[in-house]
């Protein structure tokens, strides 16, 4: 049995640094530390997230061009709150602290962070004063930013100057250009801070002096080289779901090892209406990779029998996937590696890259794999976001019909049925979901919506009247969201006319459904999927 470890699945970042300057994003436990990394990449600079336990010696060995300290949920005053190795401040590497990161700079370098302050949450007026080397020159004296803090810096350390404040943050920006250390109390990485990206750009390009030379093509070159070196002449299996992530992962690995790759498309019985036929045809036509089509719906329904708890269903589906791979690789005795399309958001929602982030749900690629799995994982996309994966797919030459396919969870409709998953309930949901997709396409809304689907509340029944008769059927929930990266999402403002058509069609055409509701929950506090 091959042991699984992060070292086996992550990038070789020393190879990255040989070609490109790197920004290390130190994660202090915030769910959105990875959003900072993504924003840095939007500036065409490579970024890597590292745990806050990283030592000064490790940082020096990596030789990053800059360091960004993320926000975090803790107070700097709480016993056991994460700290930064103080020696890192003396390495001469430009440092930029955000929220908790800024407070940590102040506290660890001799400033004062107030305790139990009123705090600020959401849109806040920032007042700039004096010249700033971080705030962009065109930012007015008063402008909006996004805050999320309860403590606040009240005295800067020696050698620092404060260049902005807000009603709840006496020091909202602190700067020491001699030591190249800067901090902001607000969150520049979110779209609600209109001058935030410009502030990050000033730090990255001007204060740290990093050029904008990182591109998606470098990801391909690096991954191809790493995969070839690791795989050697061994056989590789890819678990193909038909979604964007697994398709791009398969194309990338195929570029590296060619005919050594065999893809297995597992028809779980939990796919959308007509999806299996479409996936097989599209994949064979565009990629020319050896493909095994495994029709395993019956076995998945058996594995899900009696399960109603979301985590139990996810884990059952994940384990069944692996057993199917093992079953269908009997003739591939030399198979050693399993390719999965795990993305960075999957890792974060499953507990983070080093376990510091909160577990929101076990992703099927992260928390649903059995302990006795004998295949070693290759996850070439695990440091990327969905939009970056799409860009990578386009760079690899995949057609739009694959690259722009809506995200679809690996567990399929199994996590869109609230309650026990049965073949009959899947059939009901397939019909309802097909109507939702058809009408959004007819309304020209597909590209404007990040993800849309129907969910079946199988454990709920409600009274209705159809044809002057009392009914007792299931509700269907329509979910549609807009997003850039799936880490945050807003409910889509679908026109009432389109919602009305979907509701009428579902109730009239789908047996067992007598009520349709529209989910207007954003993420956070909800997640995009229901389970």
Asked if 257 and 228 count as a contact pair (C-beta separation under 8 A), the reply is yes
Say what the pLDDT of residue 488 is: 76
User: Which residue in 187, 254, 363, 474 is the catalytic one?
Assistant: 187
Highest-scoring range by mean pLDDT, 23-32, 216-225, 278-287, 308-317:
308-317
User: CA–CA separation, 450 vs 405, rounded Å?
Assistant: 10
Q: How distant is the alpha carbon of residue 424 from its chain centre?
A: 32
- Whole-prediction pTM value? 0.66
User: CA–CA separation, 163 vs 133, rounded Å?
Assistant: 9
Q: Taking the alpha carbons of 444, 480, 529, 524 in that order, is the dihedral positive or negative? A: positive
Asked if 9 and 382 count as a contact pair (C-beta separation under 8 A), the reply is yes
User: CA–CA separation, 68 vs 324, rounded Å?
Assistant: 43
Confidence bin at 348 (pLDDT 50/70/90): low
User: Which residue in 99, 145, 238, 263 is the catalytic one?
Assistant: 99
The rounded mean pLDDT for the chain is 84
Average pLDDT over residues 339-357: 63
At 23, phi and psi to the nearest 5? Answer: -105, 125
User: Which residue in 21, 120, 175, 189 is the catalytic one?
Assistant: 189
User: CA–CA separation, 167 vs 146, rounded Å?
Assistant: 13
Strand blocks (E) in 190-288: 235-240, 261-267
CA atoms in the 13 A half-sphere facing the CB of 66: 28
- From 315, 379, 310, 307, select the one nearest 343 (Cα to Cα): 379
User: CA–CA separation, 181 vs 134, rounded Å?
Assistant: 11
Asked if 294 and 267 count as a contact pair (C-beta separation under 8 A), the reply is yes
At 500, phi and psi to the nearest 5? Answer: -65, -45
Our answer to whether residue 187 is catalytic in this structure is yes
Say what the pLDDT of residue 496 is: 96
Percent of the chain with pLDDT over 70: 86
Asked if 163 and 174 count as a contact pair (C-beta separation under 8 A), the reply is yes
User: Residue for token digits 């400033």?
Assistant: 111
């Amino acid at each position: 049995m091959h042991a699984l470890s992060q070292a086996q699945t992550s990038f070789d970042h020393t190879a990255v640094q040989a070609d490109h300057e790197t920004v290390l994003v130190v994660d202090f436990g915030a769910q959105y530390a990875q959003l900072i990394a993504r924003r840095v990449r939007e500036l065409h600079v490579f970024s890597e997230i590292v745990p806050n336990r990283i030592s000064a010696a490790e940082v020096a060995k990596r030789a990053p061009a800059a360091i960004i300290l993320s926000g975090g949920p803790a107070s700097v005053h709480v016993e056991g709150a994460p700290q930064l190795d103080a020696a890192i401040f003396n390495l001469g590497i430009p440092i930029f602290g955000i929220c908790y990161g800024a407070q940590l700079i102040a506290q660890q370098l001799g400033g004062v962070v107030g305790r139990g302050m009123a705090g600020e949450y959401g849109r806040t007026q920032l007042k700039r004063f004096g010249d700033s080397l971080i705030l962009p020159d065109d930012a007015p004296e008063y402008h909006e930013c996004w805050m999320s803090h309860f403590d606040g810096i009240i005295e800067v350390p020696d050698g620092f100057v404060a260049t902005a404040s807000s009603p709840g943050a006496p020091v909202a920006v602190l700067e020491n250009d001699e030591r190249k250390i800067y901090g902001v109390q607000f969150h520049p990485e979110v779209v609600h801070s209109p001058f935030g990206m410009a502030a990050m750009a000033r730090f990255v390009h001007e204060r740290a002096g990093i050029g904008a030379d990182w591109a998606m093509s470098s990801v391909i070159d690096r991954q191809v080289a790493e995969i070839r070196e690791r795989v050697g002449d061994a056989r590789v299996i890819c678990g193909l779901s038909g979604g964007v992530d697994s398709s791009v992962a398969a194309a990338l690995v195929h570029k590296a090892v060619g005919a050594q790759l065999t893809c297995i498309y597992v028809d779980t019985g939990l796919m959308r209406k007509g999806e299996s036929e479409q996936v097989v045809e599209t994949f064979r036509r565009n990629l020319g990779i050896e493909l095994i089509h495994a029709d395993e719906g019956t076995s998945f329904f058996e594995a899900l029998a009696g399960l109603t708890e979301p985590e139990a269903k996810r884990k059952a589906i994940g384990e069944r996937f692996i057993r199917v791979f093992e079953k269908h690789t009997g003739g591939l005795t030399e198979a050693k590696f399993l390719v999965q399309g795990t993305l960075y958001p999957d890792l974060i929602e499953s507990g983070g890259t080093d376990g510091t982030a909160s577990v929101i749900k076990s992703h099927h690629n992260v928390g649903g794999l059995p302990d006795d799995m004998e295949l070693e994982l290759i996850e070439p996309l695990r440091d990327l976001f969905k939009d970056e994966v799409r860009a990578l797919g386009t760079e690899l030459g995949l057609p739009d019909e694959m690259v722009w396919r809506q995200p679809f969870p690996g567990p399929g409709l199994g996590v869109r049925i609230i309650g026990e998953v049965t073949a009959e309930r899947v059939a009901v949901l397939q019909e309802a979901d097909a109507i939702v997709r058809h009408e959004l396409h007819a309304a020209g809304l597909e590209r404007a919506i990040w993800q849309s689907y129907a969910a079946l509340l199988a454990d709920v029944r409600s009274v209705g009247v159809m044809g002057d008769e009392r009914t007792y059927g299931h509700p269907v929930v329509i979910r549609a969201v807009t997003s850039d990266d799936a880490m945050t999402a807003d409910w889509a403002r679908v026109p009432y006319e389109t919602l009305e058509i979907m509701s009428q069609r579902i109730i009239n055409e789908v047996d067992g459904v007598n009520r349709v509701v529209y989910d207007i929950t954003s993420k956070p506090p909800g997640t995009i999927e229901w389970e």
